[in-house]
């Protein structure tokens, strides 16, 4: 799996593995950047508050009747196609961005409003990378094209599954490590989304994948993210090797 943490000890034993999580061990310690760091089930007040906020975001369904949701859609269009006026919230124009139909609201059912927030965060924070990936949709019949926006919604859902944030305890090291990162940066989820998108796009292009292979590419993307999150010198999303793909 490449470079991974050096597992050192838990509260009740001298050496452990990820399989021990959820079997009575309250903390696990491992070495990161030469220092011992403890990952515990019990969250700090800051972690609890930021996790609570993130969970609230994840539970918001997209509601086309809400003005703030309509405004977010318009903001996404403006960030994606500067200078190009959106005729209507229901329009064939959305297909240019890779939505499945004229009404993008129907594509948010799987991941909710946070998937729109993720796309908007990507567009505004890493605009060059966002535009580079989006504009390849304008290619002429390339078999490796995929629906950009719909792929983005699927990436949000994949990350939600990978982190399993609704679990009562951090059952995996990936989730526990992410919660540490969340305490360092409230936008850790959104940053991880941006990394996931460029990783997925890179794997797609390298494989010259077809749309029928999308789920397989998404699974490989998840494995790559998990591998990097568990590297010993990755303390923030920005430390992930694939973060550099955003520039």
3-class state of residue 218 by DSSP: helix
Separation CA 79–CA 124 (nearest Å):
7
What is residue 135's predicted lDDT score, i.e. its pLDDT? 86
- Which residue blocks in 12-147 are alpha helix, DSSP H? 45-58, 67-80, 113-125, 127-135
Number of domains comprising the chain: 1
Residue at 143 is within a domain: yes
What is residue 87's predicted lDDT score, i.e. its pLDDT? 94
Q: What pTM was estimated for this model as a whole?
A: 0.84
**What range does the domain containing 127 cover?**
47-246
Residue at 34 is within a domain: no
**DSSP string covering 92-127:** GGGGGGT-SSS-GGGGGTTT-HHHHHHHHHHHHHSH
Residue at 1 is within a domain: no
Separation CA 232–CA 210 (nearest Å):
34
Residue at 12 is within a domain: no
Residue at 20 is within a domain: no
3-class state of residue 40 by DSSP: strand
Residue at 3 is within a domain: no
Residue at 32 is within a domain: no
10-residue stretch averages of pLDDT, the chain, 247 residues long: 38 37 48 55 84 95 95 97 94 92 88 96 97 71 71 96 81 86 95 98 90 93 97 94 97
3-class state of residue 14 by DSSP: coil
What is residue 37's predicted lDDT score, i.e. its pLDDT? 57
What is residue 13's predicted lDDT score, i.e. its pLDDT? 33
Residue at 40 is within a domain: no
């Amino acid at each position: 799996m490449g470079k991974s943490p050096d597992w050192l000890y838990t509260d009740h034993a001298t050496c452990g593995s990820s399989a021990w999580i959820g079997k009575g061990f309250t903390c696990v310690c491992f070495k990161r950047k030469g220092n011992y760091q403890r990952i515990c089930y019990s969250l700090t007040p800051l972690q609890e508050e930021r996790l609570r906020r993130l969970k609230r975001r994840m539970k918001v369904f997209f509601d086309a009747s809400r003005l703030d949701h309509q405004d977010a859609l318009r903001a996404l269009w403006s960030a994606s196609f500067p200078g190009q006026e959106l005729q209507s919230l229901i329009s064939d124009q959305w297909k240019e961005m890779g939505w499945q139909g004229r009404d993008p609201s129907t594509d948010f059912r799987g991941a909710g409003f946070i998937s729109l927030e993720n796309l908007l965060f990507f567009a505004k924070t890493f605009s060059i990378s966002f535009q580079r990936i989006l504009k390849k949709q304008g290619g002429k019949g390339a078999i490796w094209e995929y629906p950009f926006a719909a792929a983005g919604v699927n990436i949000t859902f994949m990350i939600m599954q990978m982190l399993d944030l609704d679990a009562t305890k951090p059952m995996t090291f990936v989730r526990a490590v992410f919660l540490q990162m969340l305490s360092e940066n409230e936008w850790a989820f959104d940053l991880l989304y941006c990394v996931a998108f460029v990783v997925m796009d890179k794997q797609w292009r390298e494989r010259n994948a077809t749309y029928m292979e999308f789920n397989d590419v998404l699974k490989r993307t998840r494995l790559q993210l998990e591998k990097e999150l568990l590297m010993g010198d990755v303390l923030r999303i920005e430390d992930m090797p694939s973060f550099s793909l955003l520039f």
